[in-house]
């Protein structure tokens, strides 16, 4: 089954916002085995929307539009669908009642433009939107399913998982198509080229499951996918391939699928029944913020010290003045002292400390921009590693946080 996605909104074409909705919808469709061959973004011009929709519907089995369902005059998706399908708009009474209740509860007056949100091209259906006012639309037309979802990401996501994906999964089954199963292994501390080199035999000989590497800053994902009649058969194929890969590069795999590094760290800390504290200089709180992105992190995260100034390094972490004078704040000695001081003053089992030069200025010949020291202290002692990253200030912060969390993870697991 082939799909196209049409994102609607002039702000996209101005480059005012990233089209993350298109990414999300692509990923959702791909995950159930629908091929997304083409995606479009089009501005709020009725003629443009109609043209793109018409072509897409002739070419593909499924067309999903995102955005332009609101009540304002530049929300033209409903009108465009009416025009492309050449069907009259009809009001859905139940939806109208729901919208009237929504406004009445908030003591707001409902307008005729609001009410047009309850209309659907003849033969189509509305998709319930529990977190916003704009329902979605679904209409089958000349062999193509056209689905319109709203643009605000929380509304779009809920509608995709609640209505669109179940509907399409059922349609795939009815057509006898085998579902797609994917598995992703997430690696850190190895580059894409090294990974490709170490996996070259597997990469060369693999066609089912298919295998691909995707690099992003601080991580490379190994994505496997296969079509199979059942989850069980898919698991067998994906599991065999995963085992071969792990035999080659298993030490670098920190998680699977949607598991982020901070989630992986939370898991190993929870399993060990251990707590952590962080002491950050150059990352400025990013490591603590990532750890606390995980719901329930208060169970293992004691807290953090963002010691940007030398005074706070001394005052809060007890870094000796002599280390700062002799080696400087960006030094292995300082990183170790920060980790040990944070662990001692907080009583946590593990302490993670980073100090470095995020740039763009502040580097010297001996300690260039991009230099960072990462230390982990626990009851067995303290380990420390030096890194030199290329890239911008924000890349530096992200890479450092990723590598630091991975060092902590490996330390808790006894791998380093």
Applying CB under 8 A, which part among 75-83, 214-222, 240-248, 319-327 lies near its own copies? 214-222
The only residue of 88, 94, 104, 212 in contact with its own copies, by rule CB under 8 A: 212
- Residue listed under structure tokens 């690099």: 215
Does 360 sit near its own copies (CB under 8 A)?
yes
Residue 123 Cβ vs its own copies, minimum distance, rounded to whole Å = 29
CB 84 → its own copies: shortest distance, Å? 16
55 phi, psi to nearest 5 deg: -60, -45
User: Could you say which residues in the range 101-160 bind its own copies, by CB under 8 A?
Assistant: 154
Indicate whether 284 belongs to the interface with its own copies (CB under 8 A).
yes
- In 3D space, the residue among 120, 117, 59 whose CA is nearest the CA of residue 85 turns out to be 120
Q: Does 214 bind its own copies (CB under 8 A)?
A: yes
CB of 20 vs its own copies, minimal distance in Å:
6
Region from 76-84, 169-177, 242-250, 280-288 binding its own copies, contact rule CB under 8 A: 280-288
Q: Would you tell me how many other CB atoms lie within 10 Å of the CB of residue 26?
A: 16
Q: Which stretch binds its own copies (CB under 8 A): 99-107, 169-177, 251-259, 284-292?
A: 284-292
- Alpha-helix residue ranges (DSSP H) falling in 74-125: 77-85, 93-105, 112-115
Tokens representing 124?
């189509």
Of the pair 68, 121, the CB lying nearest its own copies is at 68
* The one among 50, 52, 377, 403 contacting its own copies by CB under 8 A: 52
By CB under 8 A, tell whether 364 contacts its own copies: no
CB nearer to its own copies: give 89 or 215.
215
Residues 305-324 that bind its own copies (CB under 8 A): 305-309, 311-312, 315-316
What is the separation, in whole angstroms, between the first and last Cα of the chain? 47
Applying CB under 8 A, the span of 78-86, 120-128, 283-291, 373-381 interacting with its own copies comes to: 283-291
The H-or-E segment that residue 46 falls in is helix 46-59
Note whether 169 binds its own copies by CB under 8 A: no
Q: Please state the φ and ψ torsions of residue 405, each to the nearest 5 degrees.
A: -65, -35
Q: Given the complex with its own copies, which of 278 and 334 has the nearer CB atom?
A: 278
Closest by CA position to 306, among listed 322, 286, 336? 286
Whole-number Å distance between alpha carbons of 387 and 389: 6
Tell me how far apart the alpha carbons of residues 130 and 133 are, in angstroms, rounded to a whole number: 8
Residue 147 vs 286, nearer CB to its own copies: 286
**Shortest Cβ 5–its own copies spacing (Å):** 8
3-state secondary structure of 294: coil
- The yes or no reply on residue 208 touching its own copies (CB under 8 A) is no
* Residue 48 touches its own copies, criterion: CB under 8 A: yes
Q: Which stretch binds its own copies (CB under 8 A): 119-127, 167-175, 375-383, 393-401?
A: 393-401
Neighbour tally for 358: CB within 10 Å: 23
| Distance (Å) of CA 143 to CA 36, 59, 212 | 17, 10, 33
Between CA 25 and CA 104 the distance in angstroms is 33
Residue count of the chain, please give it.
416
How far is residue 148's CA from residue 78's CA, in Å, rounded to a whole number? 8
Count residues near its own copies (CB under 8 A).
Answer: 80
- Stretch 8-47 residues interacting with its own copies (CB under 8 A): 10-20, 22-30, 36-43, 45
């Amino acid at each position: 089954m082939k799909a196209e996605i049409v994102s609607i909104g002039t702000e996209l074409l101005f480059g005012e916002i990233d089209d993350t909705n298109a990414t999300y919808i692509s990923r959702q469709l791909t995950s159930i085995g629908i091929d997304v061959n083409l995606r479009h973004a089009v501005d709020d011009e009725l003629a443009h929307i109609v043209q793109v929709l018409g072509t897409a519907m002739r070419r593909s089995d499924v067309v999903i539009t995102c955005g332009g369902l609101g009540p304002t005059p530049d929300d033209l998706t409903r009108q465009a669908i009416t025009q492309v399908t050449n069907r009259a708009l009809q009001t859905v009474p139940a939806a109208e009642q729901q919208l009237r209740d929504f406004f009445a509860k908030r003591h707001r007056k409902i307008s005729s433009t609001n009410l047009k949100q309850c209309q659907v091209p003849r033969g189509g259906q509305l998709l319930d939107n529990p977190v916003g006012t704009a329902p979605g639309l679904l209409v089958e037309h000349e062999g193509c399913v056209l689905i319109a979802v709203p643009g605000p990401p929380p509304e779009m996501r809920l509608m995709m998982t609640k209505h669109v994906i179940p509907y399409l999964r059922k349609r795939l089954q009815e057509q006898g198509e085998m579902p797609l199963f994917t598995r992703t292994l997430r690696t850190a501390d190895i580059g894409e080229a090294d990974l490709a080199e170490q996996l070259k035999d597997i990469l060369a000989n693999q066609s089912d499951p298919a295998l691909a590497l995707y690099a992003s800053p601080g991580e490379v994902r190994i994505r496997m996918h296969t079509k199979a009649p059942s989850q069980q058969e898919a698991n067998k194929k994906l599991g065999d391939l995963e085992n071969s890969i792990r035999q080659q590069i298993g030490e670098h795999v920190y998680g699977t699928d949607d598991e982020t590094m901070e989630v992986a760290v939370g898991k190993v800390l929870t399993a060990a029944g251990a707590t952590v504290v962080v002491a950050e200089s150059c990352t400025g709180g990013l490591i603590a913020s990532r750890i606390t992105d995980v719901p329930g992190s208060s169970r293992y995260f004691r807290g953090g010290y963002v010691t940007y100034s030398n005074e706070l390094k001394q005052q809060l972490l007890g870094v000796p003045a002599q280390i700062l004078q002799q080696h400087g704040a960006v030094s292995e000695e300082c990183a170790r002292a920060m980790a040990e001081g944070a662990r001692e003053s907080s009583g946590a089992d593990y302490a993670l400390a980073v100090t470095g030069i995020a740039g763009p200025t502040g580097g010297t010949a001996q300690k260039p921009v991009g230099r960072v020291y990462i230390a982990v202290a626990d009851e067995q002692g303290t380990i420390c590693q030096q890194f030199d990253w290329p890239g911008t200030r924000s890349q530096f912060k992200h890479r450092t946080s990723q590598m630091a969390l991975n060092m902590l993870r490996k330390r808790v697991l006894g791998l380093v």
